[in-house]
Amino acid sequence: EDQVTQSPEALRLQEGESSSLNCSYTVSGLRGLFWYRQDPGKGPEFLFTLYSAGEEKEKERLKATLTKKESFLHITAPKPEDSATYLCAVGGSSNTGKLIFGQGTTLQVKP
Amino acid sequence: EPEVTQTPSHQVTQMGQEVILRCVPISNHLYFYWYRQILGQKVEFLVSFYNNEISEKSEIFDDQFSVERPDGSNFTLKIRSTKLEDSAMYFCASSGIAGLETQYFGPGTRLLVL
């Protein structure tokens, strides 16, 4: 069964304190790994797509990396506006676009 | 920048009533999806839709649920007889040539069943 697990569930950082979020996955045929940002009461906002081990993507203070079993979202020198829940999802083994989400990591960055 | 829109933003209904949630996907996208998120839980896949047909549906998507693309712009989710446990945020998403799974989500409809 396709599965996604994210850790930690919650993370508190001081402004400027870099850290990483983890996403472990089990899927029979990976059709991409996706990172989203979700603000309270809002829809997931697309950040990155990764398709193969070794791939990296960057956007401002965020960098996503992928291995055969997990992905990391590195946050460098975060600011309070980076506070949100970060969701990881994988494309399922069926060729229908179904995404399987993890439970998310809620990040709080204090000034 | 193109975006997915959803209406209404909030809906309160009585148990047993029918509700229709509406979505306008990004205009050149061809693949459409509904997900739901119960408060404090994961985002869960409900259904995928392509070429006027359901591609895949989850176990949650039982006979009480249906989807439709009534015209060239709208995509709807109907729940025929709502239950208390249908209370959740419902998200519409769409994807295009970037790949099925690179999906862009709408802001959601918060459904409360009393």
What pLDDT does A1 receive?
Answer: 80
DSSP letter string over B8-44?
A: -SEEEE-TT--EEEEEE--TT--EEEEEEE-TTS-EE
* Neighbour tally for A80: CB within 10 Å: 11
Residue-level pLDDT at A94: 78
- What is the model's pLDDT at position B98? 62
Please state, rounded to an integer, the average pLDDT across all residues of chain B: 94
To probe the interface with A, which of B1, B43, B91 has the most A CB atoms within 10 Å?
Answer: B43
What confidence tier does B102 reach under pLDDT thresholds 50, 70, 90? confident
Shortest distance, CA B107 to any CA of chain A (angstroms)? 4
Output the pLDDT for position A31: 84
Nearest-angstrom CA–CA distance, B16 and B43: 24
Q: What is the arithmetic mean of pLDDT over B93-108?
A: 86
**CB-CB under 8 Å, A89 with B31:** no
Give the per-residue pLDDT at A34. Answer: 95
pLDDT tens track, chain A, 111 positions: 889 999 999 999 999 999 999 999 998 888 899 999 999 999 999 999 999 999 999 999 999 999 999 999 999 999 999 999 999 999 877 788 899 999 999 999 999
Partners of A91 on chain B (C-beta within 8 Å) are: 100-101
Neighboring chain B residues of A57 at a CB cutoff of 8 Å: none
Nearest neighbour of A34 by CB, restricted to B4, B35, B101: B101
